[in-house]
Structure 1
């Protein structure tokens, strides 16, 4: 006589689990939507924060690529006694002789010469503007553009005429002339903002010869802008100080304007970390909401649990059912959050004329986080449901 066969409960397939979990959520759609909404808000916050930050950086990199990262600036530092140093008169000419240098130009600060929009303005209200003598090839080297009007030329650079930086134009207003040291100077043009030479935004630019003739400019360059072959930037940077001032290279400061963007990126990273923390808190609250929904679902469905147990469902089947419901609920919230975060990033990027960039790792990380939250949130309710005895569950119903 053959031994008796041991009966084993059939395992539920993935399709069966999906259908079973979905039926549990469809029975209480409003509660499911509200619970998934908490997950969605947390994921959307995290995706949009990282997406906006990444889009901003992509826009910045695009601007740098257009302007070029091969510009170096040379400026006087301090002497060994702590006094302000000056660049030699031939510093610009010497720098132009460096082989990989493709162009070089200079501006010089006209000291103690404030700029006013009118002769009625009190002497102390200068608006923080600087008066700079400029070489005619300044625009080509720093790749600045004219917003309206014209740039200085061989004629206007010798007469009382100025060009305003973008910020200087906003402070002075739409004026045809400005008042400098007892004389009126005609405004012949206004620049757009210069990303790699922000100091020019607050400047009022006058021709080099006119500054010497009318304002006693000493002719010393205070900033030399240099463009060089892209592959030779570091090599040129290494010799610029000694070339500009062979006798005192330690009194010369050499910088790369694009390096100044590093603190901004660091600040953006810190800000993003803060907002990501807030998104994580929202995600935690959403997970608690899912757990609460599943606990209440167990209490309300004891009759169903008792009936399934009496028909042969094992404790493992019950645990799997409720965990699958929790995972499905979290997955719906996660998918909605990813779409919402992508939409927020896209709308914000479009309004700022940025490329829309959402890293794949953020999307995958957000979905992975929802799976973890769903599993953790559904584990206790699932264990609690599995522990209910069939008779107890039916009697309590």
Structure 2
């Protein structure tokens, strides 16, 4: 008896394979949507969290660029016996002689004075606000601006006038110039309130008096901090000699810092959190992948008749396998796309609220999209193989 050769199975084109895979999703839209949400949440978490970190870093770097990296802060350290050191009265003038120095300003602590809203408030309730004498060019040296009123000038620095830092004003409940505060047994007129000073946060928490007037309240005339601006190319050379210039006899009692370094370190610290954010997103993606795998296994069980019918009509095991694998990958890809879009929307909203430049996290976008496809492929392998192993008789036996 002569065997009649069976015809070769028909080949499915790529578009046909996609259509067959999408049929399973279109037939169960609610289940597909719920499964895709798991993937979307994972990708959105990854893109959104890393995006917020990226936007924050971009904002800090823009802030550093605007404020400049050319400022050094000089302050009194401690003596060998552990006591607080004192900067010489000549320190400010000596620093101006260093080549490359553009401007120098200073503040000095008025140690025996506190600031309160009224004299009815306990003297011990200082709200963490320091009283300091300030030079009239301090705001210019810090590249600061005024929120309300004016800064100290040649006239007001000789009279009972005070300028509040932004934080100090908020703690005292003052939002504009013209109010009075109680300092060292007398009321002083608030002539101005500064905006935030990222390079000198200690000034934000201070009440600033004129240098001349502060001596009437017991100020000893010694600066406690100097704020020096250099040309961009001479910052390091100035830093190398400024201790010896300020206090030639005891340079070890002088502390020198570069405020922009703290902001740069803060921006760099954001990178350390990216790994954590990726991990959180990966956990959510894994949970979403398990959900997809679960849905695909249930889909195989529910569609045994469809599988049996297609196998009877000539579909090969490979075609059945690719059908379910395509369905799983498509489901995850749709969830990944939705997650990327949600994450980007979150980044844009955060950047708009903060007023920072929008920096898109390219690594998170690409990583989220690729991860969602890979999750879909891995999640669909077992259900696809299980569907492909069904013979037509087994699949149709439940009809």
User: Normalising by the residue count of structure 1, what TM-score does the alignment of the two structures yield?
Assistant: 0.94
The alignment's C-alpha RMSD in Å is 1.8
Matches within 5 A, 1:1-397: 8-174=8-174, 176-212=179-215, 214-262=216-264, 264-265=266-267, 268-269=270-271, 273-397=275-399
Aligned partner of residue 105 in structure 2, secondary structure: strand
Task: Summarize deviations over 1:23-44 as a string: whole Å, max 9, x none.
Answer: 1211111111111111111111
Q: What SS is found at the alignment partner of 1:153?
A: coil
Residues 152 and 210 of structure 2 are in contact (CA less than 8 Å); yes or no, is this contact kept in structure 1?
A: yes
**Structure 1: how far apart are the matches of 2:166 and 2:105?**
20
Task: Give how far 1:271 is off.
Answer: 5.2
Q: What whole-Å deviation, never above 9, does each CA across 1:132-191 have from its counterpart, x for those lacking one?
A: 110111011101111111111111111111100011111222372222222221111111
Of 192-201 and 12-21, more deviation after overlay is shown by: 12-21
SS in 1 for 2:73: strand
Alignment coverage as a number of residue pairs = 393
- How far residue 207 of structure 1 moved from its aligned partner, in angstroms, is 0.8
Shift, 1:8, TM fit: 4.6
Partner Cα distance (2:267, 2:278) in 1: 16
Q: Quick one: distance in 1 between partners of 2:40 and 2:211?
A: 61
CA distance in 1, matches of 2:143, 2:307: 73
Q: Distance in 2 between matches of 1:268 and 1:12?
A: 49
Deviates more, 1:78-87 or 1:203-212: 78-87
Once the two structures are overlaid, the 10-residue window that deviates more, 43-52 or 56-65, is: 56-65
- CA distance in 1 between counterparts of 2:39 and 2:83 reads 60
CA distance in 2, matches of 1:93, 1:354: 39
What is the rounded CA distance, in whole Å, between the counterparts of 1:251 and 1:11 in structure 2?
Answer: 84
Counterparts of 1:239 and 1:396, CA distance in 2: 90
What is the CA-CA distance between 1:266 and the residue it aligns to? 5.9
Indicate the SS of the match to 1:396.
coil
Give the TM-score, by structure 2 length.
Answer: 0.94
Matched residue SS, 1:147? strand
- Give the 3-state SS of the residue equivalent to 1:285 in structure 2: helix
Q: What stretches of structure 1 of length at least 5 have no aligned partner?
A: none
Q: Residue 64 of structure 2 contacts residue 263 of structure 2 at CA under 8 Å; is this kept in 1?
A: no
Would the aligned equivalents of 2:64 and 2:264 in 1 still touch at CA under 8 Å? no
